[in-house]
Amino acid sequence: MKKYDVAAFIWPSYTGHEVRTRVFWPDGEGEWQSVRKATPKFEGHLLPRVPLLGYKDEAEPETMEEQIELASSHGVNVFIYDWYWYDRRPFLECCLNDGFLKAKNRDKMKFYLMWANHDAGYTWDKRISDGPDVPIWLGSVDRVQFDIVADRVIEKYFSQPNYYKADGKPVFAVYDIDNLINGLGGIEQTKAALDSFREKTVRTGHAGLHLQLILWGERMHNLTGVDGEHLYSSEIAKILGFDSTTNYQYVHFVDIDRDYGEVQADVLKYWEKFASIGVTYYPHVSLGWDNNPRFNSFRRGILKNNTPENVEKALIAARDFADAHGVDLITINSWNEWTEMSYLLPDNVYGTGYLDAVKKVFLQQ
């Protein structure tokens, strides 16, 4: 039986351990606050979604031990932690540092970081989420801050025995390439910063650094420091030397306000397009999309009919794509995005249906 690395993104907001989260979620339990208080916006809207494991603090080792057992027994063997750096210091590290890395059974799972370097704005605070999109913290950093970030992740995370590697190189993903380039001052400055990151990683005893770019579709970028020049994402990936690409969410590159089967048909075409860039592409499967739990008013755009049976078909397609293109990593959104209605964890609607689909496709094929 062929083995696959099935990696699920983790949104590390379900804890009150970090004081700065009280800005958005004053109840002191992180974004569980929004999940609990979600209300249906139309007849048949299945809200709130209730986690069958309970509203547990994911910065507690016991919580993550339970989730690691559940994930590993169903074929999910990698967690991709959304990782943040705002206002010259880390944000939402507690779930990783205090929960996952202190879990007694952590050796059953690999993990790697996705630097979620987007701006933090109104969306997380439901009290003002219907207002103007005003950034609270910026996700872009200058070279001084970039070097601090690089040093931190190399020392604190790459050295962990269960950090995920590709060809012996620790994998580090970047979410927002525009923010990265704009903060560093241009494409050449960004290349120099990433080259320095690679060199530092090698100097600390690693075989190299595997950089992964999160694609938002094949879009144009207006680059700071390059007068009048626009580049496609694929060109940027090559210029900056990214080793691989994948996606974070279907909503970033397809119209999701349709039936899951219709959306998946378009996704298959995008997978081929992404793979043709010339940089290794790892297929991505999103389980759903509905971010109404974060808002008081109704937000249009809901992925429909995303049943475990239909998701299973998407997972089979991802497995077949991986086989055809000689790759063994599949990314999934997500493990626990409750406020975007895209999660593998068992709930009151489908039970363990999504996890059972993963197990059937990747452990019982």
- Residue 334's alpha-carbon distances to 113, 202, 223, 297, 338, in angstroms, are 14, 31, 30, 24, 9
Give the per-residue pLDDT at 220: 54
pLDDT for 236 equals 86
Domain count, the chain: 1
Report whether the peptide linkage leading into residue 334 is cis, meaning its omega lies within 30 degrees of zero.
yes
Distances (CA, A) of 113 to 140, 160, 298: 17, 12, 32
pLDDT at residue 232, as a whole number: 62
Question: What does the pLDDT read at residue 227?
Answer: 47
**Distance (Å, whole) CA 187 – CA 102:** 38
**Single-letter amino acid, residue 186:** G
What integer pLDDT is reported at residue 131 of this predicted model?
85
CATH no. for residue 11? 3.20.20.80
Residue 253, pLDDT score = 93
Range of the domain at 243: 5-362
Residues 199 and 209: their CA atoms lie apart, in Å, by: 8
pLDDT in tens, 188-214: 999 999 999 999 999 999 999 999 999
pLDDT at 223: 58
Report residues of the chain scoring pLDDT below 70.
Answer: 218-234, 365
| pTM score | 0.96
What is the pLDDT at residue 92? 97
For 298-336, write each residue's pLDDT tens digit.
999 999 999 999 999 999 999 999 999 999 999 999 999
Euclidean distance between CA atoms 200 and 309, whole angstroms:
45
